[in-house]
Structure 1
Amino acid sequence: MKTIATICARGGSKGLPGKNIRPLHGRPLIAHSIAFALEHPAIDAVCVSTDDERIAEVARAAGAEVPYLRPPELARDDSPKLPVIEHLLEFLEREQGRSYERVVDLQPTSPLRIPQDLDACLRRADDPDEPGLVLTAFDSGCNPYFNLVELQGDGSVLVSKGGGLATRQSAPAVWTLNGSIYVWRRAALAHAARHGMWSVRVAAHIMPPSRSVDIDTAEDFAAAERAAPEGKLRP
């Protein structure tokens, strides 16, 4: 199955300015995800979508394609990600005559994934029930049936879903999305770009918290450095 890896990296980060090209163990952050994709045997091409020329230069130097700079209307703070990926795929299909059956979207701020995580996502994507999307998640310890509460109109709080559960073990299993890996069937991506991610059948691969750091702040960056000591992420 012909597969492309997409990596979306906007230049205007506010939580940690310049995070996508900030060095992590000797290599720009985005370059770790590019190297991960280039080295995986299931991936046929690696493309970066960015609005920032500095990120584009770093991405090309790391071996990724950057077909164009993303238009401003897809690079705002509130721009959803799915139309960005769909815009990239439509460009490759329309302007370059390329086609892919599967899209692996890798978040550049999640550098701690390992090949076995992607292997598991790809296997799940090929299961007979044919999920349109396989995404990654982890157990954060938070559960809306047990220890997450919502603010009420009168200023009090109540457990988010239901109530009366004495232990976490008696609550339904829930996971937190970590954004690390998304494996899309091409048709499902096109549908979801117009109707939302949850409009297609979704399955999950559960990763451990140790590989689920999502870098948005300086504290997150420091946590990633601690979780991936020198040598674990190859510079």
Structure 2
Amino acid sequence: MMSKLCSICARGGSKGVKNKNIREMLGKPLIAYSIEQARESGLFEHIAVSSDSPEILEAAAKWGADILVERPLEMASDTAAKLPAIRHCVQHAEAATNKTFSVIVDLDATSPLRTTEDIVNAVNLLETRDVPNLITGAPARRSPYFNLVEMDGDGFVRLSKSSDKPIVRRQDAPKCFDMNASIYIWKRQFLLNDYPLFLPDTILYEMPEDRSVDIDSELDWRIVEWILGSRKGAAV
């Protein structure tokens, strides 16, 4: 059995929703949902949370994270990419535990609508297909072959992607997905050796739209809170 690490990266400088990772949603901080899902999956030897915020790390420890990683400030700016932060988190976790993890599963702290079953099924899919990495996404509302357009410097528009023959119905276009940033999974060597996210054999685990809302605005917050409250039968 391959050893697995869960990483959760949550920086403190959110602009769209201030302090969203520790803001309470239905009685607990947002980051608690991802930590609890990771623990309930039963998959992970350790759950590591990476942050530049002491408040986030304190909340993470309270809700069950067992490895706390202080993220360097240069990896926590508005322009910093996420992959280096995940690699840093994994390297710190391996040094802290003196272990090497075969599979790394990164859960986005702002995607609490995923289920524990999504995590388990996504990991099973990666292992069954024996591929280097996996992303998650929901069926796209717009298709680059049919009704998604790009504008050039002169203001002219055209379909984002052409096909060998005209596509007159959206249903006839190749299946396209919106990345929902909910779950990323790698076999260790493909994460730590600076490979890009998309490899020739990267695969996708499909999730429905109602489990794919990523919180980046107050409207997103209200939508996610309503969906979670509906699941629990709570008034929101």
Look up the match of 2:195: 195
**Deviations, residues 125-166 of structure 1 (Å, cap 9, x unaligned):** 1124x2111111001311100110000232121111116321
Q: Tell me how far 1:231 sits from its aligned partner.
A: 5.8
Q: Which letter does structure 2 place at the counterpart of 1:114?
A: T
Task: Decide whether the 8 Å contact of 2:46 with 2:67 is kept in 1.
Answer: no
Look up the match of 1:7: 8
Look up the match of 1:104: 105
1:115 aligned onto 2:116: yes
The equivalent position to 1:168 in structure 2, one of 160, 167, 170, is 170
**Deviations, residues 6-41 of structure 1 (Å, cap 9, x unaligned):** 000000011111011111111100001011111111
Instruction: Give, in whole Å, the separation in 2 of the partners of 1:173 and 1:105.
Output: 25
**Deviations, residues 164-184 of structure 1 (Å, cap 9, x unaligned):** 321101111110100111121
Instruction: Give, in whole Å, the separation in 2 of the partners of 1:80 and 1:58.
Output: 24
Structure 2 unmatched ranges of 5 or more? none
| SS of structure 2 residue aligned to 1:198 | coil
1:48 aligned onto 2:49: yes
Q: Decide which moves more: 163-172 or 48-57.
A: 163-172
The structure-2 alpha-carbon separation of the partners of 1:31 and 1:233, relative to structure 1 and needing over 3 Å to count, comes to: farther
| SS of structure 2 residue aligned to 1:138 | strand
Look up the match of 1:219: 219
Q: Tell me how far 1:232 sits from its aligned partner.
A: 2.9
The structure-2 alpha-carbon separation of the partners of 1:200 and 1:190, relative to structure 1 and needing over 3 Å to count, comes to: farther
1:1-235 equivalent positions in 2, closer than 5 A: 1-128=2-129, 130-162=130-162, 164-191=166-193, 194-199=194-199, 201-229=201-229, 232=232
Q: Decide which moves more: 106-115 or 78-87.
A: 78-87
TM-score, length-normalised on structure 2? 0.92
Instruction: Give, in whole Å, the separation in 2 of the partners of 1:138 and 1:68.
Output: 30
Instruction: Give, in whole Å, the separation in 1 of the partners of 2:67 and 2:117.
Output: 27
The structure-2 alpha-carbon separation of the partners of 1:5 and 1:200, relative to structure 1 and needing over 3 Å to count, comes to: farther
Identity %: 38
Instruction: Give, in whole Å, the separation in 2 of the partners of 1:224 and 1:146.
Output: 29
Instruction: Give, in whole Å, the separation in 1 of the partners of 2:205 and 2:90.
Output: 24
RMSD after superposition? 1.7
Task: Decide whether the 8 Å contact of 2:21 with 2:110 is kept in 1.
Answer: yes
The structure-2 alpha-carbon separation of the partners of 1:44 and 1:10, relative to structure 1 and needing over 3 Å to count, comes to: same
Instruction: Give, in whole Å, the separation in 1 of the partners of 2:69 and 2:138.
Output: 34
Runs (4+) of structure 1 exceeding 6 A deviation are none
